[in-house]
Structure 1
Amino acid sequence: MTTRFLGCLCLALVPLVSGVNFDTCLQEVKNGTWGLVGGTDNAGRPVNNISEATSITYDLCLVACGKGSEPFVWKIFSQQFSAWLLPYMALVSQLPFGANNRLDNLVSILLTVGSPTLAAYSLALTVLNGWWIAQRFSALSYPNVQNAVKILTNLQQSALRVTNEESLLASLVILHSNDEFWEELSVWLNYVHTWSLSAVASIVWVIIAYVFTVVDSFTSNHYLGYRDPQRKWSSSGIRVPVAYTHNHCPKCDFNRVHQAMERANKIAYIATLSGKPTLASNISSKRAMYFRKDAGNDEQCAPPVFNYARFFPWTLAVENVYCVFLEASKRSDDRQPVDWGAKWTREDKNMTIHPDNRQGSLEQVEAYIRMKPRSRWGPGVVSRFLLAAMLALSLTWGTIGAAILVAFFVPTKGLACRSGSYLIYGATSTLVWILLVISSVLAHYSTFTVDVKGNSMRTKSTRTAGVLSIILRRLGKVLAAMNSIWIVLACLLHFGNFFDRCWCNSSVLYLGSRAYNVIDLTPEDVAALNGPWIGGVALASGCAIVFIAFVSILVNPTLPI
């Protein structure tokens, strides 16, 4: 039994120590060992003299070299693994998560690695939302506008809901008793996400490795200097901007954010019939601002990659708050106090509106704010979606597309194992983004109700949308998990020389019956690679720089005064 096990182990280890040697195969072909047919030049054209062959047809490659790959070299594998895959994993580990449980944090990792398109889209959307809300509130002059912008921006990572039932929201905005609510909640949410030393080290490590790879490719005299590195700088080109911009996201600590909201709601006041405000907790358990608590939806997941699911409901929550502040600002600009029986009290130099102008009974507060019907999708969602989508797709296909470009033009030219692995990763990343974005649209639509005899009811179409949303969301997550495994596996296959085989090197997938394997490159062939390589480096670097610049410019918009 032991002898049989050792024999099987030896057979399994044979490919690690023995394998195809393409230089030896070519030399045997040139010597006529395998006949006089099958030799080609590097353009795939048959040569008249077999001794002049620099390439061989795919059929001859299988005969002369076999179906196996080049031997596994542990020294090369370990160097590549430690120089690229480990920093890559370390970079992922530095992303902010903050979910309420480990499973959601794990899913956020799989989504970020499996669909960098979704991660970049959520990040771009977060930045655009922050800029949009600052611009939208900029013309308002009512007290606490600045705090409201800070709070709503920092609550993008939460399933925020806003209601004006029983004039809760109107009371929260109008009554001067609630100034402490806005001030305290703004302070409690204003904790700083600092850059850790490990995060900086991981990013610097990857950037230095990227630079070394580019320099090494231009100083290398062999085409392997071009063939191998593109997978490295393509992955770093998309990971570095995503990791960098993640650290500019609003707060995503689930427990801390929920505790801040609970503490603030304890000091929230509501108008009463008598005109003397009282704590909202003395009336009911309802609050003007609260978090959706039902499970089973990505809205509740705090990590920034899930911001795609909060886009529409967060926009509606912001719009509800904006409309109340807008109405209050109009009334105050017209010098109308909340109490219609009182006269406008002039403010002093230390305040914009005197507190006496911001108090009244429940009836007066309701009359002061006239809420108008609004779109259930929210304003400006189309333009922000399109811009965020453009940035995410540009970053994805600018970096991954650059890797495909370089791999495509490395002889033998064509779509093969290396370029195909990048194409699969990029296409799946984009497909996951499409599925989850559609899922978020359907999930929001499924919340629409119609009024039937005073009761809010969901229609058949909204119920169907809810079911489809769940199916697409789960399908997208499964694909993201599989894509995460695939990109790691593809790196390992690269490092282990698995793709250095006749089928991959001959571009059979692209050339079909005309497939051939370029083994000996001429100086002209190597020189011709400079164009695609420079173009690929410029494309990947340019897209990453544009994305980082976009985030850096818009991440801290000017707040209303």
Structure 2
Amino acid sequence: MSKAFGRYLPNSSRSIPTLAVFITLYLCGSTFASTNFDQCLQDIQAGKFGPNAGVDNSGRPVPYQNATAIPYEICVIACGGGPEPFSWSDFSNQFGAWLLPWLALLSQLPFGANDNLENLISVVLAIGSPVLAAYSVALTVLNGRWIARRFSGSTYPNTYYAVRTLSSLQQAPIALERTRATLLASLVVLPENDDWWKELLEHIEYTHTWSISAATSIAWVLIAYIFTVIDSLSDVQQSVEVNGQAVGSVWLWLLPVVIAWLQISPKCDSNRIRDALRRANSIAYVATRNSTPIRAGLLNDLRAIFLNDDNNPLSSDQQCTIPIYNYTRLFSWAVVVDDIAIYFHEATRRSRLFRPVASGTVWVPEDRYSSVRDENRIGKSLEVVDYCTPLFPTPRSRWGSEVWGRMIISSILALMLQWGTAGAAIFVVWETPTRGLGCRSLCYLIYAFISTVVWALLLLSSILAHYSTFATTSRTRLAGKFSIIIRRFGKTLAAVNAIGILMSCMFQFSAFFNRCWCDSSALSLGAAKAFNVIIFTNDDISSMRAAWIGGVFLAIGSAVAYVGFVNMFIDPPLPAGPSRE
């Protein structure tokens, strides 16, 4: 199967039309296929292939008159190696019930890039690696909880705005101007910059959450899934080889991912983010040597917080505001948050000691409107910087604090969702006679495996990319080159995997897998011991129904556990808001 997929990789603009022509020709050709397993079994029961041509549903030889299954080697001779005829009614019913709702639900994934191609790539990346999609969601939720905890204990003005703003900027490639410490210290300390934080949060905190279209799409998928599951369980024998029970499970990862993003409401509109930061930076103030703050724009074009928009290929994914790329911004974003949090904590410590920013002045006590009066927040540039600088600074990680723990937890959750849903699909097909590894279960196994490999490659690429930003050495330059190579290979592999799972679903519904090799589970049993079950016994039907029910519970359980985790961590307690300061 991988060789067949390899000829249709998206290497040119003609790939999609070529793939469509291939599928059309296949469907047209398979319509006239002559393989008929029922007729083959009747021929075997009539003794046309000798007295030893029949076996039971366990592969044991039986008198040919009592045969309910066909050995693989005889199946090829008696039935041929091709598939059964294509049935449009079976294909359209299964495609519309099991796959079409999931494809429609893809439109509810969050986008945000100005480039439509980038938005399309993000969809392909999500389909090709559900592990990566689920990982980015879990990481975003854990980052939101971490930043709330990172600023806990800080009571300096604007702490609340800083937490909400920085959490919302997970989708943006934010960076700090480190050549002039006065810029960031002024944002934290000066009362003139209170409007900066409010302005930025006001324009960045737009809502991208539940809507009628989103709720309708989710309800449609959920109802369609429930109805088709009930229908398939009511008659497991009908069209068992083209049934989409496993297809529904392998795509179930999409539902919790979409629900989670709608709850998180990521701020990923690149134009809006850029405009919000531009508006805020236009009113930023900076401390001066004579203690009279002035607009930063009167001095130069430097700002404390800005968007990294260089042309370095290493940061191309970081600059794309689509939330699936949040994993690429983890380290740089966490470092920025750590630096800002340190400034807020040190300013809080000094304010609790009733120390004003300006030396030689007396602390003005708090009133009912403010715990730290504006008079205590005015000073010269050196005093402002000193007020935010710890007396005994501790070494800071260049990776960001506690990032590895969040990565591990997010990885476990993403892998649980992927292998829970794909594992359910594999289990359902595996337990459908002939039991064992066949073409269908192998496709789902390969899909989940490649999805995991893509996630691992892109995660490694992000680690190497951040490492390459350290002091320039031959080692960091080599890490940067490897990062680009690994990232491009991972994305290509994701595209192949996305095409592969779509084609596998098409083959499932079109009877392409209804052939001696696939139905005999020859991959696991071997050609000599493989056999094709034609007539299901009552025990087979009972075990199939039990397996299908178990698969449904495994897939749904994984999805519910993932959504439950998101809801447990999605709304962390924030520092005191404006009404409590």
The normalised TM-score by structure 1 is: 0.94
Instruction: Kindly state the Cα deviation for residue 229 of structure 1 after the two structures are TM-superposed.
Output: 2.9
What is residue 350 of structure 2 aligned with on the other side? 331
What is residue 470 of structure 1 aligned with on the other side? 484
Give 3-state SS (helix, strand or coil) of 2:47's partner. coil
- Which one of the candidate residues 56, 60, 73 is aligned to 1:59? 73
| Count of residue pairs brought into register by the alignment | 544
Deviates most, 430-439 or 106-115? 106-115
Indicate conservation of the 8 Å contact 2:27/2:510, yes or no. no
Instruction: Kindly state the Cα deviation for residue 344 of structure 1 after the two structures are TM-superposed.
Output: 0.3
- Which one of the candidate residues 85, 92, 96 is aligned to 1:78? 92
Give 3-state SS (helix, strand or coil) of 2:364's partner. coil
What is residue 14 of structure 2 aligned with on the other side? none
**Which amino acid letter does the alignment assign opposite residue 271 of structure 1?**
A
Instruction: Please give the per-residue CA displacement for 1:179-203, whole angstroms capped at 9, x wherever unaligned.
Output: 0001111111111114333322221
What is residue 218 of structure 2 aligned with on the other side? 203
Instruction: Kindly state the Cα deviation for residue 339 of structure 1 after the two structures are TM-superposed.
Output: 0.3
Distance 1:521 1:360 in 2: 85
Instruction: Kindly state the Cα deviation for residue 505 of structure 1 after the two structures are TM-superposed.
Output: 0.2
Relative to structure 1, the CA distance from residue 184 to residue 11 in structure 2 (aligned partners, 3 Å threshold; closer, same or farther) is: closer
What is residue 523 of structure 1 aligned with on the other side? 538
The normalised TM-score by structure 2 is: 0.91
Give 3-state SS (helix, strand or coil) of 1:290's partner. strand
What is residue 343 of structure 1 aligned with on the other side? 362
Q: CA RMSD, aligned part only?
A: 1.7
Distance 1:235 1:152 in 2: 35
- For 1:121-140, what aligned pairs fall within 5 Å after superposition? 121-140=135-154
Give 3-state SS (helix, strand or coil) of 1:353's partner. coil
Indicate conservation of the 8 Å contact 2:94/2:242, yes or no. no
- Which one of the candidate residues 303, 320, 324 is aligned to 1:301? 320
- Which one of the candidate residues 492, 501, 507 is aligned to 2:506? 492
Distance 1:12 1:292 in 2: 49
- For 1:525-544, what aligned pairs fall within 5 Å after superposition? 525-544=540-559
Distance 2:27 2:168 in 1: 55
What is residue 452 of structure 1 aligned with on the other side? none
User: Sequence identity of aligned pairs in percent?
Assistant: 48
What is residue 20 of structure 2 aligned with on the other side? none
- For 1:138-537, what aligned pairs fall within 5 Å after superposition? 138-166=152-180, 167-220=182-235, 222=237, 224-225=239-240, 228-247=243-262, 248-295=264-311, 296=313, 297-370=316-389, 372=393, 373-449=395-471, 458-512=472-526, 513-537=528-552
Distance 1:367 1:137 in 2: 20
Instruction: Kindly state the Cα deviation for residue 514 of structure 1 after the two structures are TM-superposed.
Output: 1.1
Indicate conservation of the 8 Å contact 1:312/1:378, yes or no. yes
Instruction: Please give the per-residue CA displacement for 1:417-438, whole angstroms capped at 9, x wherever unaligned.
Output: 1101101110111100000000
What is residue 114 of structure 1 aligned with on the other side? 128
Distance 1:223 1:172 in 2: 68
Distance 1:302 1:10 in 2: 40
Instruction: Please give the per-residue CA displacement for 1:489-534, whole angstroms capped at 9, x wherever unaligned.
Output: 1111111110111010011111112111111111011112233222
Give 3-state SS (helix, strand or coil) of 2:536's partner. coil
Deviates most, 89-98 or 440-449? 89-98
Indicate conservation of the 8 Å contact 2:268/2:323, yes or no. yes
Instruction: Kindly state the Cα deviation for residue 14 of structure 1 after the two structures are TM-superposed.
Output: 5.0
Indicate conservation of the 8 Å contact 1:115/1:433, yes or no. yes
Indicate conservation of the 8 Å contact 1:172/1:270, yes or no. yes
Distance 1:509 1:149 in 2: 54
Give 3-state SS (helix, strand or coil) of 1:206's partner. helix
Instruction: Kindly state the Cα deviation for residue 550 of structure 1 after the two structures are TM-superposed.
Output: 1.4
Give 3-state SS (helix, strand or coil) of 2:252's partner. helix
Relative to structure 1, the CA distance from residue 10 to residue 270 in structure 2 (aligned partners, 3 Å threshold; closer, same or farther) is: closer
Distance 2:417 2:38 in 1: 39
Indicate conservation of the 8 Å contact 2:97/2:228, yes or no. no
Give 3-state SS (helix, strand or coil) of 1:56's partner. strand
- For 1:28-39, what aligned pairs fall within 5 Å after superposition? 28-39=43-54
Give 3-state SS (helix, strand or coil) of 2:532's partner. strand
Indicate conservation of the 8 Å contact 1:162/1:321, yes or no. no
**Which amino acid letter does the alignment assign opposite residue 396 of structure 1?**
Q
Identify unmatched segments of 5+ residues in structure 2: 1-23, 577-581
Indicate conservation of the 8 Å contact 1:100/1:302, yes or no. no
Indicate conservation of the 8 Å contact 1:126/1:249, yes or no. no
Instruction: Kindly state the Cα deviation for residue 225 of structure 1 after the two structures are TM-superposed.
Output: 4.8
Indicate conservation of the 8 Å contact 2:232/2:245, yes or no. no
Relative to structure 1, the CA distance from residue 10 to residue 378 in structure 2 (aligned partners, 3 Å threshold; closer, same or farther) is: closer
**Which amino acid letter does the alignment assign opposite residue 445 of structure 1?**
Y
Distance 1:226 1:27 in 2: 19
Distance 1:462 1:311 in 2: 19
Instruction: Kindly state the Cα deviation for residue 172 of structure 1 after the two structures are TM-superposed.
Output: 0.7
Relative to structure 1, the CA distance from residue 217 to residue 15 in structure 2 (aligned partners, 3 Å threshold; closer, same or farther) is: closer
Instruction: Please give the per-residue CA displacement for 1:302-344, whole angstroms capped at 9, x wherever unaligned.
Output: 1111011011111001101100001101010111100011010
Indicate conservation of the 8 Å contact 1:293/1:300, yes or no. yes
Instruction: Kindly state the Cα deviation for residue 556 of structure 1 after the two structures are TM-superposed.
Output: 2.0
Give 3-state SS (helix, strand or coil) of 1:161's partner. strand
Identify unmatched segments of 5+ residues in structure 1: 1-8, 450-457
Relative to structure 1, the CA distance from residue 347 to residue 77 in structure 2 (aligned partners, 3 Å threshold; closer, same or farther) is: same
Indicate conservation of the 8 Å contact 2:86/2:510, yes or no. yes
Instruction: Please give the per-residue CA displacement for 1:94-138, whole angstroms capped at 9, x wherever unaligned.
Output: 211011211211111111111111000000000100011112212
